[in-house]
Amino acid sequence: MTGIGWLAALIVGALAGWIAEKIMKSEMGLLLNIVLGILGAMILNAILFALVGGTLGGWIGQLIVGAAGACLLIFVVRLIRGRA
């Protein structure tokens, strides 16, 4: 996560995963929320950097990117499992 420390990345990742869980109406635990939030932010940051040459910075920017990325990951998992 660009521009924030590892502790902040855990907090933002947990919040982003929780937001994605509520948006996508899926039931996950705290650990999976953190993982999805951080992985989602990493993946979407890489995509944004490749397309635009930059990404959103700070806590709020990373929260938005993390939540959107986690929603994307949940959608992909549902596609693979056949429940999209």
Q: What is the pLDDT of residue 83?
A: 64
pTM to 2 decimals? 0.81
CA 61 – CA 79 distance, rounded (Å): 27
CA 17 – CA 50 distance, rounded (Å): 23
Confidence of residue 32 (pLDDT cuts 50, 70, 90): confident
In this prediction, residues 11-32 reach a mean pLDDT of: 86
Residue closest to 42 by CA, chosen among 15, 65, 72, 71: 65
Alpha helices in 25-57 (DSSP H): 30-52
pLDDT of residue 27 exceeding 90, the answer is no
